[in-house]
């Protein structure tokens, strides 16, 4: 949605603010072994249940019969049928992209109209070669804030852009068990508006867009070198991820990978139950962005009729992700 602003600090529930700050103090969260380890664990669990994983099988629409969800049609034209359909793309994306208008349940449609989508991101992935121990890098997130970043009034596509809220973290310094000390990694990100990049949606191969990406990358790397003088000579790889990339890879509207705003947690109409028999929602719109694993547990509890949150709490003494 154009013209939106990020929620100001005094509008953010304190538990969510505290969670976010705690996460940054610890250097952001990252699965042990990286993203591949997370995927391997999920696939192993599915295989144990005699399930099947179909990679790169995008869904075009949900199939219905007698007002019940019965399966999905994939981009390659295949029909896959199941007793239970769970969509994790986001409530908004599921309703308006995968369900025909006449079949959309009124309750969640009305509920999402009360919420805005959170902003998108600029992310720079950085790979180094060499020993960075002399830079004193800690297992924390480094932040730089200029002015009021919640307004996101600075356009990254314009010359002279200055980033108003930049976060730097070093994933390889967190996962010491699996890291290769000779090839450390860093991640730099900044919340921004999709509308700044929207005009390049059909021109991503243009020289103008490439120049903008190089300019943003240079700004990020310059800032990294200011924070850790001399580190830039160790940079051997960098890749800039823009809101256009996030929209393409995640399928989220406006590249808003965290979905609806944080106040969705207070809306009882946004739940795993879609209002259509056999169709359920999961993902970031169920409870809160940043707590996606818990959102999955909530959906599984609804589908199975078992209080899995209580079960995990009893087994572990607390809920922690």
Domain boundaries, the chain: 54-115+258-316, 119-253
Distance (Å, whole) CA 185 – CA 166: 17
pLDDT at position 314 over 80: no
Q: State the chain's mean pLDDT as an integer.
A: 84
Element (H, E) at 234: none
Lowest mean pLDDT among 223-237, 268-282, 286-300: 286-300
**According to the model, what pLDDT value does residue 25 have?**
52
270 Cβ neighbours under 8 A, 6+ residues apart: 91, 108, 111, 112, 115, 260, 264, 285, 286
**According to the model, what pLDDT value does residue 143 have?**
81
**According to the model, what pLDDT value does residue 7 have?**
46
**According to the model, what pLDDT value does residue 321 have?**
43
Higher pLDDT, residue 257 or 186: 186
Q: What is the pLDDT of residues 76-85, one digit of tens each?
A: 999 999 999 9
Q: What is the pLDDT of residues 135-179, one digit of tens each?
A: 999 888 888 777 666 668 889 999 989 887 888 988 888 777 777
Name the pTM for this structure.
0.79
Kindly report the CATH number that applies to the domain delimited by 54-115+258-316.
Answer: 3.50.50.60
**According to the model, what pLDDT value does residue 142 have?**
85
CA nearest 242: which of 90, 124, 155? 124
pLDDT at position 42 over 90: no
Residues 319 and 294: beta-carbon distance below 8 Å: yes
**According to the model, what pLDDT value does residue 262 have?**
76
């Amino acid at each position: 949605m154009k013209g939106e602003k990020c929620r100001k600090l005094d509008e953010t529930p304190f538990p969510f603010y505290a969670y976010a700050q705690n996460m940054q103090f610890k250097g952001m969260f990252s699965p042990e072994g990286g993203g591949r380890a997370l995927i391997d664990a999920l696939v192993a669990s599915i295989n144990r249940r005699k399930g099947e994983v179909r990679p790169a099988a995008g869904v075009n629409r949900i199939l219905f019969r007698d007002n019940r969800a019965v399966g999905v049609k994939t981009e390659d034209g295949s029909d896959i049928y199941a007793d239970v359909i769970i969509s994790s793309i986001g409530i908004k994306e599921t309703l308006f992209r995968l369900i025909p208008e006449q079949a959309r349940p009124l309750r969640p449609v009305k509920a999402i109209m009360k919420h805005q989508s959170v902003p998108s991101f600029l992310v720079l992935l950085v790979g180094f070669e060499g020993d960075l121990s002399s830079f004193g890098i800690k297992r924390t997130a480094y932040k730089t804030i200029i002015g009021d970043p919640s307004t996101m009034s600075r356009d990254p596509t314009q010359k002279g852009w200055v980033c108003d809220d930049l976060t730097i973290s070093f994933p390889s310094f967190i996962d010491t068990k699996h890291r290769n000390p000779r090839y450390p990694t860093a991640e730099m990100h900044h919340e921004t508006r999709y509308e700044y990049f929207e005009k390049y949606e059909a021109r991503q191969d243009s020289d103008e867009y490439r120049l903008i990406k190089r300019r943003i990358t240079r700004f990020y790397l310059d800032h990294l070198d200011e924070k850790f003088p001399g580190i830039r000579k160790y940079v051997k790889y960098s890749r800039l991820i823009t809101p256009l990339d996030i929209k393409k890879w995640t399928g989220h509207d406006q590249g808003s990978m965290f979905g609806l705003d944080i106040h969705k947690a207070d809306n009882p109409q946004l739940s795993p139950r879609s209002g259509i028999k056999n169709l359920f929602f999961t993902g970031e719109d169920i409870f809160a962005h940043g707590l996606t694993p818990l959102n999955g547990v909530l959906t599984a509890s609804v589908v199975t009729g078992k209080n899995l949150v209580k079960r995990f709490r009893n087994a572990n003494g607390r809920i922690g992700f």
